[in-house]
Structures are given as C-alpha cells and as structure tokens.
Amino acid sequence: MTELLTAGIVGTGMYVPAKVLTNADLEKMVDTNDEWIVSRVGIKERRIAAPEETTSSLGANAARAALADAGVSASEVDLIITATITPDMPWPSTACHIQRALGATRAACFDIEAACTGFVYALSLARNYIATGMYRTVLVVAAETLSRITDREDRNTAILFGDAAGAAVLQPVKAPTGILATYMGADGSKGELLELPGGGSRNPTSHATVDSRLHYMKMKGNEVFKFAARAMASSNSKVLTKAEMTIDQVDLLIPHQANMRIIEAAARLSNLSMDKVYLNLMRYGNTSAATTAVALAEARIEGRIKSGSVCLLVAFGGGFTWGSCLLRL
C-alpha cells in the first residue's frame, strides 16, 4: 500500500453579509430583551443576507478569499465540498452552484449535511481524499443563510441564528503541519430535538406544511444545551487520544459558536482556560456549519493563529452530530 499523504489547510477565507440585526432590533420583533440574550446566550448582533444573496453567493465570496489566501486559482481545485443545512435549493448541490460562480471547472462537487458539525465533518472527508492521493486541492466551504429558515415569531430561535460563510483550501503539506487527527460522532435518536420538519419526503411541501410553519427550524433548546458541552468535551478528548497529544499542547480552541455558556462549560470540561478559546459569537450569532470556518479564518486574520500553532476545532449540532479536528497550521 502506498504511504498516506499529510493534508493541511493552506488558505482560509470568510464572508458575512453587510446587514446587521441587533438585539435592539429583535426587541421590536419578539418578546425578548438585550439583557436576556447577552446573559443567557452571549450574542449581541448577527448578520442577515440581502434578498439577492444566497448560500452559494456567500460561500463563493468566502471561497474566493480562501483561494487568494492560499495563492491557488479556481482552475486548480479538484473537489468542492460544501457543508450546509440551508442549500440554495434541494438540488443541484450548493457546491455545484459555487463551482459555477468560481469557474472551478475541473472540480468534482457535492454537499454534506451534518448541521453545525458540517465544517468539521467536511475537513475530515477532505483530509482523506488528499491522504489517499485521489485529489490534490480540495476546497471546503461552510455556508449558511439561516435567516431563511428562522421563525421570527419564535423567540426560542429568532434570537440565535445568523448568516455567514467560511472556507478552507486543503492540499498535501509537510509534517509536522497539517491535520493531526479527526473525530466524528452522531446519535440519530435525538434528531427531533433540532430539526427542519417540512419540505422533505416525510412532510412534502404543501399549503398545510406552510400553514403549520414546518419550513422553519424547531429546537428544544434546553435539551440541546444539556447535551452539547459534554459532547464537545468528549469529542476533544477522543481526538487528542487519537493524535497521542494532550490539551496542554493546544494553542487555540475554535468551538462551534452557539452559546457562551455551552462554550465555557465545554472548555471547563476539557481543562482549557477561556483565554485559549476563540469567540466571535457576539458579532455573528450561531451560523451553524459556518461558525467554525468563519472563526478559523477570523482568528488567522487577527493573528491569533501563528505558524506552527495547534488548533482544535470542535462542534455539535442537529442529528445529533458532533466532531473535532486537530491541526497544526
């Protein structure tokens, strides 16, 4: 058997829409207030896509930034994997829409759906395509327009979600840089705690599904909350064991940005101090698969990640799904 190659991230990019939705704006829409949102969740504002923007247009903008950062042209991309729960349409895939926007004509394209864990899952897939030598340049895009499936009449979810996209270019790299280990988990028995019930084969779109608001996401927030911190801490422990490393060797934790209290609990359970945790939840809210991708790109822009830094990405979300990706940049 030929030796496996080491895959690494050689470029990152992000894009957020211009329109800002503040907690004060939400106070005029549902029965909530800034103090509750900041103290219980940690979000101050989120971005909302303009009517002409789509998940693929956000994703293509992030992808262009990542390609420029990597110094790689669109024509060099062999594969585009898009992680999203808010595709442009059921099909063709959002990855195909992004391919067209970029002119990445050589690339194979597909989407994956692992909710908020999508970017971490997609990195794991991309790594394997590169490791086996099947593809050399893989573009991973995590893009979401959650504003399109958020029920602005439901205060449990209306305050949480926003729109954003992040992207990463992966290629073979020389050790010790590169992806060191990945871990993916799931528990389908908890699916109904966080779901979009309408529009699929179970509840095909009809006047009744629209009238029942089944095309908006439904969440039993407290149940998700209880599960999330433990799932992320356990995922981190598993990925560190796989890499034969300890939490002390991690320079920066990049967690899914859903709730400050969940992040603090996950960091505590992972024995990591909060000064080693990257946060941008207050600016963008929960953007599902995009949170970890945007946070990785933004942490690099801000200089929080230096050459040789060890980063630990961790996420959890609908499915339930969870996972971690340990890498040295």
Contact footprint for ligand UT7 (CB under 6 A)? 32, 36, 40-41, 116, 155-156, 159, 194, 219, 221-222, 224-225, 228, 258-259, 286, 317
Helix (H, G, I), strand (E, B), or coil: what is residue 42?
coil
Question: In terms of CB distance, is 155 or 242 closer to ligand UT7?
Answer: 155
Minimum separation from the CB atom of position 144 to ligand UT7 (A): 11
CB 156 → ligand UT7: shortest distance, Å? 5
Dist CA 120 CA 314 (whole Å): 7
CB of 161 to ligand UT7, least distance (A): 8
What are the helix and strand counts (H, E) for the chain? 11, 13
**Of the two residues 41 and 169, which places its CB atom closer to ligand UT7 in the complex?**
41
Task: Please give the residue whose beta carbon sits closest to ligand UT7 in the complex.
Answer: 221
Report, in Å, the least distance between residue 114 CB and ligand UT7.
Answer: 12
Task: Select 172 or 221, whichever has its Cβ closest to ligand UT7.
Answer: 221
Compute how many other C-beta atoms are within 10 angstroms of the C-beta atom of residue 204: 10
Nearer to ligand UT7 by Cβ, of 100 and 226: the residue is 226
First to last CA, the chain: 28
Tell me how far, at minimum, the Cβ of 10 lies from ligand UT7, in Å.
28
Catalytic residues: 116, 256, 286
Q: What is the smallest separation between the CB atom of 193 and ligand UT7, expressed in angstroms?
A: 9
The reply to whether omega before 176 is within 30° of 0 (cis) is yes
Residue 213's CB is within 10 A of a number of other CB atoms, namely 13
| Residue whose CB is less far from ligand UT7, 106 or 268 | 268
Residue 8 vs 118, nearer CB to ligand UT7: 118
Q: Write out the two tokens for 185.
A: 């988990």
Name the E strands within 146-244.
163-172, 178-186, 194-195, 218-219
For 65, the token pair is: 């930034």
Cα(48)–Cα(50) distance, integer angstroms: 7
Distance CA 146, CA 163 (A): 6
DSSP 3-state of 59: helix
**Mapping DSSP to helix (H, G, I), strand (E, B) and coil, where does residue 279 land?**
coil
The residue among 247, 170, 144 whose CA lies nearest residue 7 is: 170
User: DSSP label at 51?
Assistant: T
Q: How far is the CB of 230 from ligand UT7 (least distance, A)?
A: 13
Alpha helices in 71-142 (DSSP H): 94-102, 118-131
CA dihedral (139, 145, 146, 150) in degrees, to 10, reads -160
250/190 Cα distance (integer angstroms): 31
**Closest CB to ligand UT7 among 261 and 276?**
261
